[in-house]
Amino acid sequence: MHNSTSSQAHDMGSHAAGKVYLVGAGPGDPGLLTLRGKELLQRAEVVVYDYLANPKLLRYVPKEAILIYAGKKGGGLHAYTQEGINKLLVEHAKAGRLVVRLKGGDPFIFGRGGEEIEELAVEGVDFEVVPGVTSASAAATYTGIPITHREYTASVAFVTGHEDPEKKFSAINWEKLAGGAGTLVIYMGIKNLPDITKKLMEAGRAPETPVAVVRWASTPKQKSLIGTLGTISDLVVEAGIRPPALVIVGEVVQLRHRINWFERRPLFGKRVVVTRTRVQASELVNQLEELGADCLECPTIDIQEMDDYSALEQALPQLSTYDWLLFTSPNAVHYFFRRLQLAQLDSRALAGTRIAAVGTATAGILAQYGIYADFLPEQFTGEGLADALIKQGVAGQRFLLPQALEASKVLPEKLAESGAHLTIVPVYKNLPTVSSGEELRDELSRGAVDVLTFTSSSTVRNCFALLACQDASALRQLLGKTRIAAIGPVTAATLQDYGITTHIQPQQHTIADLVRAITSHYGHDIPRPNGSFS
């Protein structure tokens, strides 16, 4: 992190000379970035990144850094020419900035890293290079192909297939390569595949030689196809495989059926939409991705502070007069404690009051503030909490409820009916996000979404507001075959209000249980932490 004083210094040109770091982003899986690469992203002032570098890596970059997309989609429009990129790097470095040039895979393996560095050297710009996991290595590993194997091959060659087949003198000696290396990995070879396979067979490589084609290796979109030198070109056309993809030729490909770990994960290939606030989405997304799902984060809610906290401020000095403090969401806990601190109080102010949480997630956040909830219902819903408290007897007792402005009224109404005295204090607001629902609409109408997840009634309302369908039948049509997953009965009831049926709903209303329910919907059971399966 740099502070504003140092960035001001850059603008005035008084900072030491800048530097360019050419960093390998790895093949796609963000976990395959090197530690050195991450450290540099965290310090970057300018990041110039490619189409093949996973944009998720940009989360490490400080907010105030300049991000430049340099494009370069195979065959498509280039956002910048190579000269343009070189010029950018030189300019920003000369302005005294720390520049990270983030390139897919390894910068020096078909990445034009050499050319960019030469330009920097000519201009006298300081630079360093950080290697990355090249896509050949990832494609092999993530499809279960050992790229070398003592029993099958002792050599591997990385080759570009991008050459113009009409070119009179190829720089690649396919005849020698055909028999010269046990495993061949061909980058950028999809367009010329018919020509390449033909040349290899003409040079004596057997038509039965196994071949794998891997698209978007190591990402949730990974697609792999197995054939032979004789069949693979036709298979690729049939399957409609487009770049970026790698071709792996050699006997090692046959070992794949034993070690294909990545594509065997329970949610592999499933597109799951997560509709939550950006902050909260990460837990659900992390758990789904761990199981192989391809997540689209579609934040529908922005959590915001209230404009006015006077109701809570009045209640805080008299906390000890309340018998119960009820928390019905993790955010309620965060915002309550924030106000407590601002009032220069700490958790000792809660000493005489019993504290209930609606479920384990809320209780977990309380624990972060050093408070263990006294009470947790069996059913993790507002209604479940009301029923469980009423069983204990609530008549005449005083309850303080810090909650969302838009929170459901079921809990307070039930408690009031049973004779409780309630003070309801809104501590935060759930607002629909301003972002448009275009991407989600587009994916739904293409039938590309397998599961749409909802973790509260407000995510339902906001998501459907984003989708802007005329009526229930238009909405049902847009959702098509998409499975609807709801965290609990309240959310499912809200879905029902829109005429939408819930297909997946866990018995316990936690994120982990929701993930488990989705997984078992697809026929896989994942064990609970204690080892049982239900």
Which residues form the catalytic set? 50, 72, 188
Q: Which is nearer to ligand SAH, 25 or 357 (CB)?
A: 25
Burial of 16 (0-12, 13-18, 19+ CB in 10 A): exposed
> Does the protein bind ligand SAH through residue 230 (CB under 6 A)?
no
Of the candidate spans 15-23, 108-116, 169-177, 267-275, the one that interacts with ligand SAH by CB under 6 A turns out to be 108-116
Query: Total number of residues binding ligand SAH (CB under 6 A)?
Result: 25
Task: Tell me whether strands 210-215 and 223-228 are parallel, antiparallel or unpaired.
Answer: antiparallel
Of the candidate spans 105-113, 258-266, 429-437, 439-447, the one that interacts with ligand SAH by CB under 6 A turns out to be 105-113
Site residues for ligand SAH, 450-509, by CB under 6 A, read none
> Does the protein bind ligand SAH through residue 216 (CB under 6 A)?
yes
Q: Which is nearer to ligand SAH, 46 or 139 (CB)?
A: 139
C-alpha dist (Å) from residue 132 to 17, 155, 161, 362, 470: 26, 21, 21, 40, 49
Which one of residues 120, 245, 291, 389 is an interface residue with ligand SAH (CB under 6 A)? Answer: 245
> Does the protein bind ligand SAH through residue 384 (CB under 6 A)?
no
Of the candidate spans 240-248, 327-335, 355-363, 518-526, the one that interacts with ligand SAH by CB under 6 A turns out to be 240-248
Of the candidate spans 37-45, 239-247, 370-378, 490-498, the one that interacts with ligand SAH by CB under 6 A turns out to be 239-247
> Does the protein bind ligand SAH through residue 324 (CB under 6 A)?
no
> Does the protein bind ligand SAH through residue 244 (CB under 6 A)?
yes
State which amino acid sits at residue 147.
I
Give dist(CA 456, CA 465) in Å, integer.
14
Least gap, CB of 192 to ligand SAH (angstroms): 11
Give dist(CA 406, CA 383) in Å, integer.
16
What is the contact mask toward ligand SAH in residues 132 to 151, using x (rule: CB under 6 A)? Answer: --xx---x------------
Q: Which is nearer to ligand SAH, 41 or 425 (CB)?
A: 41
Q: Which is nearer to ligand SAH, 187 or 337 (CB)?
A: 187
Query: Measured between alpha carbons, how far apart are the two ends of the chain, in Å?
Result: 46
Least gap, CB of 130 to ligand SAH (angstroms): 13
Which one of residues 110, 324, 336, 454 is an interface residue with ligand SAH (CB under 6 A)? Answer: 110
Given a contact cutoff of 8 angstroms between Cβ atoms, the answer to whether 455 and 430 are in contact is no
Give dist(CA 294, CA 468) in Å, integer.
25
Q: Given CA atoms 368, 370, 376, 381 in this order, what sign does their dihedral have?
A: negative
Of the candidate spans 214-222, 223-231, 394-402, 440-448, the one that interacts with ligand SAH by CB under 6 A turns out to be 214-222
Q: Inter-axis angle of helices 330-342 and 360-368, to 10 degrees?
A: 30
Given a contact cutoff of 8 angstroms between Cβ atoms, the answer to whether 128 and 22 are in contact is yes
Site residues for ligand SAH, 177-196, by CB under 6 A, read 187-188
Sheet holding 245-249, edge to edge: 156-160, 183-187, 245-249, 210-215, 223-228
Give dist(CA 475, CA 470) in Å, integer.
7
Site residues for ligand SAH, 255-294, by CB under 6 A, read none
Q: Which is nearer to ligand SAH, 69 or 375 (CB)?
A: 69
Q: Which is nearer to ligand SAH, 139 or 366 (CB)?
A: 139
> Does the protein bind ligand SAH through residue 432 (CB under 6 A)?
no
Burial of 208 (0-12, 13-18, 19+ CB in 10 A): exposed
> Does the protein bind ligand SAH through residue 246 (CB under 6 A)?
yes
Q: Across-strand partners of 303?
A: 430
Of the candidate spans 80-88, 117-125, 243-251, 383-391, the one that interacts with ligand SAH by CB under 6 A turns out to be 243-251
List the beta strands (DSSP E) in 145-193: 156-160, 183-187
Q: Which is nearer to ligand SAH, 105 or 210 (CB)?
A: 105
Q: Which is nearer to ligand SAH, 146 or 489 (CB)?
A: 146
> Does the protein bind ligand SAH through residue 232 (CB under 6 A)?
no
What is the contact mask toward ligand SAH in residues 116 to 135, using x (rule: CB under 6 A)? Answer: ------------------xx
Peptide bond into 244 cis (omega under 30): yes
| 3 state SS for 201-243 | HHCCCCCCCEEEEEECCCCCCCEEEEEECCCHHHHHHHHCCCC
Q: Which is nearer to ligand SAH, 60 or 216 (CB)?
A: 216
Burial of 300 (0-12, 13-18, 19+ CB in 10 A): buried
Look at the block and give the residue holding tokens 């030189």: 90
Q: Among 168, 163, 225, 241, which Cα is nearest to 196's?
A: 163
Site residues for ligand SAH, 16-75, by CB under 6 A, read 27-28, 52, 74
Which one of residues 104, 182, 227, 330 is an interface residue with ligand SAH (CB under 6 A)? Answer: 104
Compute and round to an integer the Cα radius of gyration of the chain.
29
Q: What is the DSSP letter of 97?
A: -
Give dist(CA 433, CA 278) in Å, integer.
10
Binding residues for ligand SAH, rule: CB under 6 A, are 27-28, 52, 74, 103-106, 109-111, 134-135, 139, 187-188, 214-218, 243-246
